[in-house]
Structure 1
């Protein structure tokens, strides 16, 4: 008896895109004695365990195992925890996040709404008896306490389990303490709402009041017996949550932090270290101005450290702002046409690098991730590297062409590297630049390698990845599938193996697959990203230009061109078949933003402005206005709209409004509702069959059956 091998769609779904079993979320002890991380036991196991890698031995051990801690019972997640995981696109289970004290000796985490701590030296874990459900527990830097959120209140408990108490009043339907509001978690990269002082005697605590935010209802039509969920959603042009910040001591005495919240309502980043006063980054609603503020924790008064302005918008970057150990401001800024690292008032990088994030700041240097700038000697398409930067110059830490990231403390660096010709990611532990250990992966090998060519297309040199079937003869013209995201925050042309697995599977169905990162996508230059200011449709122009240019040098059949995408990519796919039917002959729009007035404030207003002041920008980028449907004239191209009914990010109303507008305009289309599915589509059967249904639609629509 033989067993048929599992199909790629099945394995892709079962392994959550081959991510399960891969180590992640690294912390390095300052004394260099251990590395802490999360990893599940296999490539199909969703439940992460907390692990410790002891150095210099290089031996691994489990510090906390969910099954043992829960004694075999299944996890139960609160609505707040499910929302947090949706915001972070977390599809795992078990221990999905943790925090440590300053010495990385004590870790805390929530599991099934309960609070647990793990002694990392001893490798023992235990639960603490506290009110729940617990959200985002974090030890104090000295390891004596753990602060956490329960029932909308910030609470603190001794690490040994005694003295549990509330530092704020309990939350209400509209007010929470110590949690990030929707817009911060979804768009600003700020997933937390409280921060310990370096002395472990006080905390900065965010108070969020979403009373002003308009309420929407999200329901599951397939479950009519269930009540719809009432959620606050700050759509473009409407009110945001009110966010205030308080210095709170361990007795619960609070002092409000004062800044011009009317002018700068967005609390984008908070940093509190021993190198200086608490540091805030606050932004104006239009995101064209921002202030770096130092806080007096005794009085709550603030003073301006630095101010930025930009005629387009100011981006936010991981790891900054922060203080250097010498007390200088570390930031990333757009200056002189380049994205640079600045320490104090001095830029330490130039146009050769496009800085993406600050990874660590030490006495000697700043560790950053960056891609090649537009003035670099070579384009290095899709590559992201790790660099050491100081006043003496720039040194690249990562070597192989690929996508690299790092976590560092003291002399130890954990370097995570994904490259085109090796599946998954390799994790190496370096001490003063020399490898001393590796962290094993349990992720499944996909069993296939993408046949990808990195190139550039069009007059603007759009970065592209071109994938052909693995059995392709190199001569026969192939139908084309454009497979972009194509918008802000979502680069798809990456020099990494697993990034192109799905595209390769589509190629193996008989397509030439083109992935193009046009204007608006990150990683090239500030001007490239900000070219879409007020007009998202430039993204479509770049897809067309790249396609036509590649067809001059590759056997692409331009009479059979389809496009697929999700989220922004879904909007782009629908836009392509509606506005350029001369180029695109079929499209699949997954969870598309069809009317930008229905998307959130911080994201949409950054690019399109206030809808009341700039209605033409919203109309020009809309799929449901007359301009999006009545022009150009037929031919009408096949369009499949796919959307999860439980999506609370790009709500299902987007798909329904587009379908209604298409019906009113007499345009044929298909709608595939995913019952109970969110923006992530984590369900195995949904993820598997969605790939198969897309191929079926493409072949039917292009007459390839």
Structure 2
């Protein structure tokens, strides 16, 4: 099922397969009894339309339970503007069924397709459409499976009976700009909270977020290639400007409604909600500067809240996947930063130490908590980018599942674990189903095999031991080929780890290496996976810290690898684009050319939750914003610079590039701007993504030619 075009090149294959994710299984869930795994996968490596599948854990048999082509009668999929925005926020480039949710028993799955509501009987392997007032967003079954709740593009939250007998509104917006049951822009983009309502374990009520977007300033995203098209209006909460006003309500199926009360003026960010049978509902709410946060319990009858834990940090408090949460027997699980260590705590007792850097919690039982971790500051033996799975129980902390190096993720339920593993020596990701700690099945992948093989060599570079990967051309011979021009290929910023123990994440870097470069990927301070101090070293100083580490990494690695430090280029996208432009503007002594994709050039134009976490409020710290902006540096440009930007980007808007280009022009500094009509922050279009790689290689070779 892995069809491959014999005329493919790597850039075309890489773009067509959405970075080799098409055809790979994803979005796993495990039923409560552990007997069934539910997941999404398209029919081949060339088919972007995901189907809903199940795997029988006892037999290993896979079965399609929902096929978009059948459910839509062969018709085309139509997405609402709200659904397109949700997919942009989650960087979702595939089609068909892109999400699903199960009832408590795992017998019913609900999903949206082309704005319509569907339910799948997982035991029977059949699907049917349910009555709904669409377009539908984010459907989720009640735990008892009798109802499915869903949000609508009109801002309402509705429920429909799974027997098809009734569809009613629970809450409807009182005014334009108000939505119920949907995550606001800033929650989706920066807090990793993509949902806006949560069922009670008893299926009789829900916690529902109400977001009022009217305070948010309005921006307009135009399509200059089509001047007859009206610009799209978006609410964008730029740094220092108002956010959406977000509250939370208890909503009963009988129409009752109670507001959940906390000090929203002091803690305006609703970052996490957890409601399980292990205890009362949990909220994690943050102060706007993200230096204080509270975990509060909610009275499910009245909406009153009680303080459970209050945290503070002089720099900022990070948010983590899977916490806060209750274990089934009622113990509080969270992740904390203390004394330079990111630790797992259970009932306020740290159960890990400095040998591990805890990343997320993916499950718990009455006996143990399951979590992912990188090597902590006290562990200097693990290679760069190492990640593992662990269990914490009464007998301490131990590895979970098969041991060994590799990038890992997992989903757990009912004694069954779906384990995803990658390593540098094997393309793709291997997905195994574990029962009792032993592999009992493998979930097949239909993803295409890459046309090239990545060969990263991992090192800790320099005195700060910067995690790095070096990639050389296939067949390179030092005696024959000598020193190579260098291409730095970082992301280099928060939440963007590039140096990982896996194969596919290094493919683009390897392709650039095969064009005649020595490619260096360095995860300097500010990137995740090392220690709290490593991540928080960038507070107030993006420009100095992240750029210094790129310089230190390339100079240190040149002592071992064939790097020509007289020919060093840098490329990057988003934060990496900012870092690339910064490099040639401020360190032309080190960097001789740059390709800057979708760069943030003025942090006053980027969003509140992200930017204020690192740089503070622009009204209170204007000098910090000025020091980290690229605009004032425009007269300093003396190296070749190509700037690439999608004109439909509503995350890093094109104004960033246009303002830098205007400043460069005013200063008389030559540069290249490549505008991408109709392209967002993701650049999912096949021809655009392919040609971007080819144009970058041409630009870099010309710029570094002697």
Class of the TM-score when normalised by the shorter of the 2 chains: over 0.9
Query: Which residue in the other structure is 1:590 paired with?
Result: 597
Query: Which residue in the other structure is 1:335 paired with?
Result: 338
* CA displacement 1:51-87 (0-9 Å, x = unmatched): 0001211000001000000000000000000000000
SS in structure 2 opposite 1:167? strand
Q: Write out aligned runs for 1:169-208 (5 A).
A: 169-170=172-173, 172-208=175-211
Contact 2:131 2:160 in 1 (8 A): no
Query: Which residue in the other structure is 1:25 paired with?
Result: 27
Contact 2:452 2:511 in 1 (8 A): no
Instruction: Check if 1:393 corresponds to 2:399.
Output: no
Query: Which residue in the other structure is 1:240 paired with?
Result: 243
Query: Which residue in the other structure is 2:436 paired with?
Result: 432
* CA displacement 1:326-347 (0-9 Å, x = unmatched): 2121100001210000011100
* CA displacement 1:633-662 (0-9 Å, x = unmatched): x6x000000000000000000010010111
Identify which of 249, 256, 260 aligns with 2:259. Answer: 256
| Moved beyond 3 Å, runs of 4+ | 170-173
* CA displacement 1:467-512 (0-9 Å, x = unmatched): 0001101341000000000000000001100010000000000000
Identify which of 629, 634, 647 aligns with 2:634. Answer: 629
Query: Which residue in the other structure is 1:679 paired with?
Result: 681
* TM superposition shift of 1:349: 0.4
Q: Write out aligned runs for 1:336-485 (5 A).
A: 336-397=339-400, 398-475=402-479, 476-485=482-491
1:36–1:171 CA distance, 2 compared to 1 (3 A): farther
Counterpart Cα distance in 2 of 1:464 and 1:491: 11
* CA displacement 1:370-392 (0-9 Å, x = unmatched): 10001015132111111111232
Counterpart Cα distance in 1 of 2:451 and 2:62: 27
Identify which of 538, 553, 556 aligns with 1:532. Answer: 538
Identify which of 294, 303, 306 aligns with 1:291. Answer: 294
Query: Which residue in the other structure is 1:515 paired with?
Result: 521
Query: Which residue in the other structure is 1:87 paired with?
Result: 89
Contact 1:48 1:66 in 2 (8 A): yes
Q: Write out aligned runs for 1:523-562 (5 A).
A: 523-537=529-543, 538-562=545-569
* TM superposition shift of 1:703: 1.4
Query: Which residue in the other structure is 2:325 paired with?
Result: 322
* CA displacement 1:390-426 (0-9 Å, x = unmatched): 2321111242311011101121111000111111000
* TM superposition shift of 1:172: 4.5
* TM superposition shift of 1:103: 1.0
* TM superposition shift of 1:10: 0.7
Contact 2:485 2:563 in 1 (8 A): yes
Q: Write out aligned runs for 1:66-215 (5 A).
A: 66-150=68-152, 151-170=154-173, 172-215=175-218
Counterpart Cα distance in 2 of 1:231 and 1:405: 34
SS in structure 1 opposite 2:631? coil
Identify which of 633, 638, 641 aligns with 1:639. Answer: 641
SS in structure 1 opposite 2:15? helix
Contact 1:177 1:205 in 2 (8 A): yes
SS in structure 2 opposite 1:186? helix
Contact 1:348 1:391 in 2 (8 A): no
* CA displacement 1:305-334 (0-9 Å, x = unmatched): 001100000000000000112212110000
Contact 1:152 1:171 in 2 (8 A): no
Identify which of 489, 496, 506 aligns with 1:490. Answer: 496
Most deviating of 323-332 and 560-569: 323-332
SS in structure 2 opposite 1:571? helix
Query: Which residue in the other structure is 1:271 paired with?
Result: 274
Structure 2 unmatched ranges of 5 or more: none
* CA displacement 1:526-545 (0-9 Å, x = unmatched): 00000000000210000000
* TM superposition shift of 1:448: 2.0
Contact 1:152 1:172 in 2 (8 A): no
Instruction: Check if 1:616 corresponds to 2:632.
Output: no
CA RMSD of aligned residues (A): 1.0
1:296–1:4 CA distance, 2 compared to 1 (3 A): closer
Contact 2:635 2:669 in 1 (8 A): no
* TM superposition shift of 1:624: 0.6
* TM superposition shift of 1:608: 0.1
Counterpart Cα distance in 1 of 2:163 and 2:614: 49
SS in structure 1 opposite 2:294? strand
Number of residue pairs aligned between Structure 1 and Structure 2: 697
Contact 2:649 2:681 in 1 (8 A): yes
Structure 1 unmatched ranges of 5 or more: none
1:171–1:503 CA distance, 2 compared to 1 (3 A): farther
Counterpart Cα distance in 1 of 2:179 and 2:486: 50
Contact 1:647 1:677 in 2 (8 A): yes
SS in structure 2 opposite 1:71? coil
Counterpart Cα distance in 1 of 2:625 and 2:364: 41
* TM superposition shift of 1:187: 0.1
Query: Which residue in the other structure is 2:231 paired with?
Result: 228
SS in structure 2 opposite 1:277? strand
SS in structure 2 opposite 1:278? strand
Counterpart Cα distance in 2 of 1:314 and 1:693: 40
* CA displacement 1:437-465 (0-9 Å, x = unmatched): 00000000003211210001122110000
Instruction: Check if 1:602 corresponds to 2:629.
Output: no
Counterpart Cα distance in 1 of 2:174 and 2:492: 40
Contact 1:171 1:177 in 2 (8 A): no
